[in-house]
Amino acid sequence: MRYGLAMRDGVRVCEVYNEGLFVFLYDAANREALREVGAALVHADEDSAEHKRAAKSVAAQRSLVQYELAPDDPLRVGVVVGPPLTAKERRGVPWRKPAATLLALPSGRLRVESLNALGIDPDEEPTAKGVEVEVPPGEYVLTLHRVDFEELEGDYDGPSEIVTLTPVADVDKPPKFKLLLPFSNEKRPPWQGRHRLDGETFHGELISADDRTSALRIWINADGKVAKRLGWARGSHLEVALGGHTLDVYFYFLHNGIRGLAGRFGYVVGLSWLERFRETAPRLLLGTIAKEHTFDEKGSYRESELLELTTVPASALSDADQAALLALPRGTPVAIRTVAPFEVAEPIDESPLAELARSLAYSYRTITSWAKRPDDAEPIVVAARQMAAAIETGPLAQLVIRPSLASAPKVTVPMATLVAELERVAAIGRGLRVLDVSGLVDVLKTIGPS
């Protein structure tokens, strides 16, 4: 079957080389202003303060819209000024649900760019050319229409997306501004928002629990809005009643704040001081609001915020307790109340030196963990074994270590200082039985003072 699309007059089809997952739309007159926040928009984590400040700046001017792609195929998007596509115009081609936002085009020079052609990233020069479309200057409601390629059963040679630009003055109820129009085939989780607040107590439900990693993890349908409304902050002591069990939770972060600390090893080592609470809160878990994809027997659901509880070295949950928690069914009622805060809320050492040591340690752990896997045919296992072998040969380890430094904080210290910090991290790791980086310490000693 061959699909045909009867496009309205005036559609400009833009073709741009692309190897990424995002398309950027903005007015050429705003390029320099966007370059001032471009690095944060493109490279910073969405939950970081830097990215949020940049997004707030863009939202105030409605100066940029991004939309997400499913595959990183070449970009082929149609642009036209006028109302959204009608049912007649959509006939004959399967479409996904349209998405709308606002975009200001003060000069009327709309830029259509992929990551390869992006002109607002001060850290990367574009390697491809974007397309510029001239439209009447003004404020527009931008509606994104996507072809549903999963429903296509034959050939189709039209644009993958069509962007309609409708003057705001022609729209009765303009949408709210959204910087990003995501791509998602997944449905909204049925448990999202299925909770209530009774004074200072949260009543919700269990989503799932597993112990596939070295820790027991439990997910509950409390999100960031709940945490803020109830005043949960770092050091808050939450008492969780779940399936006949009462658990103590040290609430640590909203929105995966641990990501910048070299992964789970970073925060497990950094939170070794939680051992002091073993006597007063023996059933201790760490709580964070995290963004997770979830699923059940009906399929998968889009990413949503959840309260994740994780055992830490200070936890004294028995094997029987953990087995009972793992056996609880989805939907088990949960009640959470805030009790007197923990007396000590020591922060992780976030100095550049400590972060660098954790970054090296985590890289080493990742390599050696993959190298021990039994799948001889898996390319990543083969590569990890080669890296592990390089580590054991002394100076060749620089080939392994230096790439990890690229993403670590820039810090200049004597090698002896770094070795001392890494030895401290290694000692904590061995004590908590989560990591032994003694081999990496030995390698660093062989590299020399630089």
Supply the CATH number for residue 129's domain: 2.60.34.30
The reported pLDDT for the residue numbered 47 is 67
310 and 374, same domain (yes or no): no
The reported pLDDT for the residue numbered 447 is 47
360 and 215, same domain (yes or no): no
Tokens found for residue 342: 């923990």
Residue 145 lies in a domain: yes
Residues 6+ apart with CB under 8 A from 425: 269, 354, 357, 358, 361, 437
18 and 82, same domain (yes or no): yes
The reported pLDDT for the residue numbered 401 is 43
230 and 291, same domain (yes or no): yes
323 and 246, same domain (yes or no): yes
The reported pLDDT for the residue numbered 131 is 96
* Structural domain for 230, as ranges: 196-339
Residue 282 lies in a domain: yes
28 and 93, same domain (yes or no): yes
The reported pLDDT for the residue numbered 27 is 98
Exposed/middle/buried for 92, CB within 10 Å: 0-12, 13-18, 19+?
Answer: exposed
Residues 6+ apart with CB under 8 A from 2: 154, 155, 156
Averaged over successive runs of 10 residues, the pLDDT of the chain (450 residues) comes to 62 91 95 94 79 93 92 84 92 89 97 94 90 97 91 80 96 95 77 88 93 80 90 88 92 53 41 64 83 71 84 75 93 93 58 58 61 64 62 44 42 56 57 47 50
37 and 139, same domain (yes or no): yes
The reported pLDDT for the residue numbered 161 is 94
The reported pLDDT for the residue numbered 202 is 96
| DSSP assignment letter at 202 | E
Residue 190 lies in a domain: no
Q: At which of 306, 339, 372 does a domain end?
A: 339
What is the bridge-based pairing of β-strands 284-296 and 245-253?
parallel
User: Global pTM?
Assistant: 0.51
